[in-house]
Amino acid sequence: MTIRVLLADDQALLRETFRILIDSRPDMEVVGEAANGDEAVELTRTRHPDIVVMDIRMPGTDGLAATATICADPDLAATRILILTTFDTEEHVAQALYAGASGFLGKDVGAEGLLHGIRTVVAGEALLSPQATRNLISRFLTAPRPSTHLADEESLARLTAREREVMALAAEGHTNTEIAAKLHLSPLTIRTHIHRAMTKLHARDRAQLVVIAYRSGLVQPNPPQR
């Protein structure tokens, strides 16, 4: 399967660099380029990419608003959002995760890092393991947000005890392999538990499952490191 990528960034040179890199891979193709959030939404609706590589800071409608619009559209449920950031606006990144983004990368990412990130997100995983992300979760993902329509504590009753356990470990930043080692299970079994939890809680992907884990109180954040 060829991964269909939409690039959304106001810097034409960066888009061109990413296009050359992505189109050089046999399993990927760039299906469009957007210079602002409105264009990103429109192209996503007409071309249905598998993933949008989205910059946050763009003129007019920015990447946060575009992410929220795309992720709220049932017809675009199959499209994933990978946020590009310089890591200097953590609150904006948290807002993007709330809106439904599947993870983020720094703009200084290397070629292989970008390609790996695209493949990871399209596979349904999330880029939520680095320490920077754990600090971000601790600082922002537990703040009250009444307008956020995510599963609450009562919704967790739909999960089995094992699914709750696996979900909590995933929210702490552990990979499937690490969780499998802790629980003496196979990575495939862990993946099955993750997907069942996502289905029961109507989570778009692993990233939103992590947000739900913190918002519902299943996992308590550690104080942010100074």
Q: Are residues 87 and 157 in the same domain?
A: no
Q: Are residues 8 and 77 in the same domain?
A: yes
Structural domain for 167, as ranges: 153-215
Over the chain (226 residues), the average pLDDT of each successive run of 10 is 95 94 97 97 97 92 92 92 73 74 83 91 68 54 50 76 93 85 94 92 82 79 51
Q: Domain for residue 183, yes or no?
A: yes
Question: Where residue 36 sits, what CATH number does that domain have?
Answer: 3.40.50.2300
Q: Are residues 61 and 115 in the same domain?
A: yes
* Structural domain count of the chain: 2
Nearest alpha-carbon partner for 148 in 69, 74, 215: 215
Q: What is the pLDDT of residue 33?
A: 97
Q: What is the pLDDT of residue 225?
A: 46
Q: What is the pLDDT of residue 165?
A: 95
Q: Are residues 43 and 113 in the same domain?
A: yes
Q: Are residues 27 and 107 in the same domain?
A: yes
Residue with tokens 């946060």: 64
Q: Domain for residue 144, yes or no?
A: no
Work out the end-to-end distance of the chain between its first and last CA atoms, rounded to an integer number of angstroms.
44
Q: Are residues 18 and 58 in the same domain?
A: yes
pTM score, whole prediction = 0.74
Provide the 8-state DSSP code for 2. P
Tokens of 49: 């990419």
Tokens of 175: 């990979």
Q: Are residues 49 and 102 in the same domain?
A: yes
Q: What is the pLDDT of residue 87?
A: 55
Q: What is the pLDDT of residue 80?
A: 94
Q: Domain for residue 182, yes or no?
A: yes
CB atoms within 10 A of CB 223: 8
Question: Where residue 187 sits, what CATH number does that domain have?
Answer: 1.10.10.10
